[in-house]
């Protein structure tokens, strides 16, 4: 996995609350057996009409947001289905960080497996960042994972919390299967003990 | 020793290792797999030259894509992309040596119905699947939750997950339910009360008299939608109802092992005085049959209510409600019972079990549907067979319902069972999201009995009115 470096990019505002993973990537695109190529269908039903033409009002169709790398979103982003196709589509489009007051649990975890940084901030901070994002492509937001801050184009800065292990994996681009396999002796020991304690499992 | 919750006990029994920051490696007892979220995980194993660590604990079944029409074993019934996904699961199951129920097997069905039915799901286990409705298995007092494809690969390779413990939340439903009120109404009412993010960061334990009174199938319906409330998982402590359901199932323990298992299962309850970080209490007798009016499962109201005004909400929900009403084609103040229905869907991992079909058949028996399309999609081949043995298929067919083969079907419309633009459906499934059941389709979530009632009248209906007629 690619390392998450400091990010200075365009942020797109999506104030709608409860943006679910069906919106992020509708099920018709889940029939792939690959991880790549989903960016073109990110937010498909909001982004295109039935004939496949772009809906000009939709934020990522607006010229100033086409190269957005950050989303500032309403509460409870990524709720619903566990489909990892949602972060795959975001990543493939070029989104590297999503900022909201809250994320659904499975989506939040899925982001870290794909080099995307989800940032949780209080409502007041998200409100300020949403306003900054509304300025368009002239406003570059800065996400500094190492120092755990997000800064507006005007330099107003907000600190965010992140689990140290998740931060470490993201910064180093670590494959966590590899890390867990290093613990194989502990897994062996657990299985030996569990097969005594709960042989019916 | 300090008192523990049920969640604490199951968690503690599965910790392989713990780092100083609380990050744990958690052992997984059962891994359920379906065709949509697994191909990339198996491909990942292949690329890295890794094996499935515990194929005997891994169970696969195709459910999301499969057609529900007769003759579906003919691959021509599936579009090419669906066929490729199902074929990939076939190949992966064989290559990696995992348990598999192909589409031709009578035991095939929705993964969350097949697991419990076959006795794979047992109290005190950890159960995961690349599907958010894995929460269903919590009904057995198993810690069960959905994971993404990368985590599917992680579990395949290591039989563990990297996890941090969630907080404990108690949802208590006191007293008795009134007639016509079901497990579906409980679970929707809870989400209505807490919101879709109310459970974020928590594992919910459902308890109270109304929960104890539920059958295993009702409990599965309640836990199934824990994820819709944002919770990592939902749990119900095992009891006699649980043991009776589990006993004799193909993969349940037998003989001395059964006795040993029971000894442990009987310790799986929340100790007196254990700490919950959040407590929600609803009175069972105050819960009415409910429906959803919007595009989030938190948009829940009693059937006797009217469509709400967006201004009655706060914050970002005002805009979301406006958007939802526009999408749903509804007007504030409109009576919910005046909403006309085009289609009824009875099925899904929420409500595709035999008791669900019985509840719907009881309402439908001897009557005719007043709408163009109504479908019953049993949750598994065995549910279908059981229903046919009881003559339920005939009741549905005589009333004008389509009687289908098992699968996820119109719950997420990945197969050909879809709503068309503007088509309005009373559905026993779990999500009313925009486009969920088909592009621009409109979904009202209801219980099986309420779905049956809507099919008979052609509009959203308080099922209790039809029950009085029957009495």
Tens digits of residue pLDDT in B206-218: 999 999 999 999 9
E-strand stretches of B300-352: 300-302, 343-346
Q: Choose among A15, A84, A187: nearest Cβ to B160.
A: A187
What CA–CA distance (Å, rounded) separates B47 from B61? 23
What CA–CA distance (Å, rounded) separates A152 from A124? 13
A35: three-class secondary structure by DSSP: coil
What is the Cβ-side half-sphere exposure of residue A121, based on CA atoms within 13 angstroms? 27
Residue A29 binned pLDDT confidence (cut-offs 50, 70, 90): very high
Tokens 């001897």 belong to B366
Q: What is the pLDDT of residue B1?
A: 79
Crossing angle of helices B354-364 and B448-457, rounded to 10°: 30
Chain B residues within an 8 Å CB radius of A84:
37, 40, 130, 148-150
Are B81 and A32 inside 8 Å of each other by CB?
Answer: yes
CB B413 within 8 A of CB B437: yes
Chain A residues within an 8 Å CB radius of B53:
187
Are A31 and B148 inside 8 Å of each other by CB?
Answer: no
Q: Which of A13, A14, A15, A18 best tests the B interface by mutation, with the highest count of B CBs <10 A?
A: A18
Tens digits of residue pLDDT in A142-198: 999 999 999 999 999 999 999 999 999 999 999 899 999 999 999 999 999 999 999
Are A187 and B25 inside 8 Å of each other by CB?
Answer: yes
CB B24 within 8 A of CB B18: yes
Are A22 and B296 inside 8 Å of each other by CB?
Answer: no
Average pLDDT rounded to a whole number, residues B447-455: 98
Tens digits of residue pLDDT in B265-289: 999 999 999 999 999 999 999 999 9
Are B162 and A180 inside 8 Å of each other by CB?
Answer: yes
Q: What percent of chain B has pLDDT over 70?
A: 99
Non-local (6+) Cβ contacts of B314 within 8 A are none
Centre a 10 Å sphere on the Cβ of residue B43 and count the other Cβ atoms it contains. 17
What CA–CA distance (Å, rounded) separates B113 from B132? 14
CB A29 within 8 A of CB A44: yes
Residue B470 binned pLDDT confidence (cut-offs 50, 70, 90): very low
Average pLDDT rounded to a whole number, residues B456-460: 98
CB B225 within 8 A of CB B255: no
B446 pLDDT exceeds 60? Answer: yes
What CA–CA distance (Å, rounded) separates B411 from A29? 16
Are B232 and A109 inside 8 Å of each other by CB?
Answer: no
What CA–CA distances, in Å, run from A197 to A8, A191, B30? 53, 10, 17
Determine the distance in angstroms separating the CA of A154 from the nearest CA of chain B, rounded to an integer.
25
Q: What percent of chain B has pLDDT over 90?
A: 97
> How far from the centroid of its chain's Cα atoms is residue B327's Cα?
25
Q: What is the pLDDT of residue B469?
A: 54
- Residues 241 to 270 of B: which have CB under 8 A from any A CB? 253, 257-258, 260-261, 264
Chain A residues within an 8 Å CB radius of B27:
187, 190-191, 194
Q: What is the pLDDT of residue A1?
A: 82
B83, closest residue in chain A (CA to CA): A31
Q: What is the pLDDT of residue B377?
A: 98
Q: Choose among A34, A177, A199: nearest Cβ to B40.
A: A34
Residue B40 binned pLDDT confidence (cut-offs 50, 70, 90): very high
CB B450 within 8 A of CB B425: no
User: What DSSP designation does A148 have?
Assistant: T
Residue B471 binned pLDDT confidence (cut-offs 50, 70, 90): very low
Average pLDDT rounded to a whole number, residues A118-131: 98
Residue B468 binned pLDDT confidence (cut-offs 50, 70, 90): low
Q: Choose among A31, A84, A163: nearest Cβ to B82.
A: A31
Ordered DSSP codes for B156-204: HHHSEEEE---EEEEEEEES-PPTT--HHHHHHHHHHHH-TTTTTTEEE
Model confidence, pTM: 0.97
Say if B65 is an interface residue toward chain A (CB within 8 Å).
Answer: yes
Tens digits of residue pLDDT in B82-116: 999 999 999 999 999 999 999 999 999 999 999 99
The complex scores an ipTM of 0.95
For chains A and B, CB pairs below 8 A equal 191
Are B431 and A199 inside 8 Å of each other by CB?
Answer: no
Average pLDDT rounded to a whole number, residues A101-120: 97
B74 pLDDT exceeds 90? Answer: no
Residue-averaged pLDDT of chain A: 96
Q: Which of A77, A166, A177 best tests the B interface by mutation, with the highest count of B CBs <10 A?
A: A177
Q: Choose among A16, A74, A80: nearest Cβ to B433.
A: A80
Strand partners, B383: none
Tens digits of residue pLDDT in B359-401: 999 999 999 999 999 999 999 999 999 999 999 999 999 999 9
What CA–CA distance (Å, rounded) separates A129 from A20? 21
Chain B residues within an 8 Å CB radius of A22:
412, 431, 433-436
What CA–CA distance (Å, rounded) separates B75 from B32? 24
A2 pLDDT exceeds 90? Answer: no
Say if B416 is an interface residue toward chain A (CB within 8 Å).
Answer: no
**Side-by-side strand order, sheet with A117-120:** A117-120, A97-100, A70-73, A7-14, A140-144, A149-151, A157-159
Strand partners, A117: A97
What CA–CA distance (Å, rounded) separates B130 from B457? 38
């Amino acid at each position: 996995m690619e390392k998450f470096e400091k990010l200075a990019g365009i942020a797109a505002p999506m104030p709608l609350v409860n943006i679910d993973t069906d919106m992020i990537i509708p099920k018709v695109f889940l029939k792939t057996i690959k991880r790549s190529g989903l960016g073109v269908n990110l937010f498909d039903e909001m982004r295109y009409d039935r004939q496949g033409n772009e809906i000009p009002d939709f934020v990522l169709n607006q010229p100033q947001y086409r190269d957005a790398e950050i989303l500032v979103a309403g509460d409870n982003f990524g709720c619903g289905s566990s489909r990892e196709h949602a972060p795959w589509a975001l990543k493939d489009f070029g989104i590297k960080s999503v900022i909201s007051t809250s994320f659904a649990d499975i989506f939040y975890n899925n982001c870290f497996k794909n080099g995307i940084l989800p940032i949780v901030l209080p409502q007041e901070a998200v409100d300020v960042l949403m306003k900054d994002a509304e300025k368009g492509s002239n406003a570059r937001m800065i996400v500094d994972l190492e120092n755990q801050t997000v800064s507006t184009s005007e330099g107003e800065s907000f600190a965010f919390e992140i689990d140290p292990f998740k931060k470490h994996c993201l910064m180093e681009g670590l494959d966590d299967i590899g890390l867990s396999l290093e613990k194989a002796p502990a897994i062996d020991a657990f299985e030996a003990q569990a097969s005594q304690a709960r042989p019916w499992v | 020793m300090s008192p523990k919750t049920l969640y604490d006990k199951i968690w503690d029994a599965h910790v392989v290792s713990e780092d100083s920051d609380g990050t744990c490696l958690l052992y997984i007892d059962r891994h359920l797999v379906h065709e949509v979220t697994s191909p990339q995980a198996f491909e990942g194993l292949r690329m890295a030259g890794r094996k499935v660590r515990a194929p005997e604990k891994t169970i696969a079944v195709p459910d999301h894509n499969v057609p529900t029409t007769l003759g579906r074993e003919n691959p021509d019934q599936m579009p090419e992309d669906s066929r490729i996904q199902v074929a990939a699961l076939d190949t992966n199951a064989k290559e990696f040596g995992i348990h598999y129920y192909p589409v031709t097997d009578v035991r095939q069905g929705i993964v969350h119905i097949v697991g419990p039915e076959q006795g794979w799901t047992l109290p005190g286990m950890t159960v995961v699947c690349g599907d958010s409705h894995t929460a269903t298995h919590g009904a057995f007092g198993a810690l069960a939750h959905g994971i993404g494809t990368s985590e599917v690969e992680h579990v395949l390779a290591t039989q563990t997950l990297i996890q941090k413990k969630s907080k404990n939340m108690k949802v208590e439903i006191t007293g008795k339910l009134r007639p016509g009120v079901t497990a579906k109404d409980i679970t929707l009412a809870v989400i209505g009360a807490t919101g879709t993010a109310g459970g974020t960061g928590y594992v919910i334990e459902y308890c109270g008299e109304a929960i104890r009174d539920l059958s295993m199938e009702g409990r599965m319906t309640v836990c199934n939608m824990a994820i819709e409330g944002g919770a990592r998982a939902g749990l119900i402590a095992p009891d006699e109802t649980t043991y009776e359901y589990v006993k004799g199932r193909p993969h349940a323990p037998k003989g001395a092992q059964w006795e040993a298992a029971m000894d442990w299962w009987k310790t799986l309850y929340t100790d007196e005085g254990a700490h919950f970080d959040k407590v929600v209490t609803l009175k069972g007798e105050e819960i009415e049959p409910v429906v959803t009016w919007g595009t989030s499962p938190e948009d829940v109201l009693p059937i006797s209510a009217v469509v709400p005004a967006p201004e009655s909400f706060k914050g970002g929900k005002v805009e979301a409600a406006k958007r939802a009403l526009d999408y749903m084609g509804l007007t504030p103040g409109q009576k919910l019972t005046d909403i006309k229905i085009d289609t009824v869907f009875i099925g899904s991992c929420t409500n595709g079990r035999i008791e669900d079909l019985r509840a719907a058949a009881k309402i439908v028996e001897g009557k005719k549907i007043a709408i163009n399309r109504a479908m019953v999609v049993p949750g598994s081949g065995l549910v279908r067979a059981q229903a046919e043995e009881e003559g339920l298929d005939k009741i549905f067919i005589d009333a004008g319902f389509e009687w289908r083969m098992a699968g996820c079907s119109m719950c997420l419309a990945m197969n050909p069972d879809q709503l068309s633009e503007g088509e309005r459906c009373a559905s026993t499934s779990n999500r009313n999201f925009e486009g969920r059941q088909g592009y621009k389709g409109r979904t009202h979530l209801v219980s099986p009995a309420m779905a049956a009632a809507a099919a008979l009248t052609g509009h959203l209906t308080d099922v209790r009115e039809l029950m009085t007629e029957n009495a």
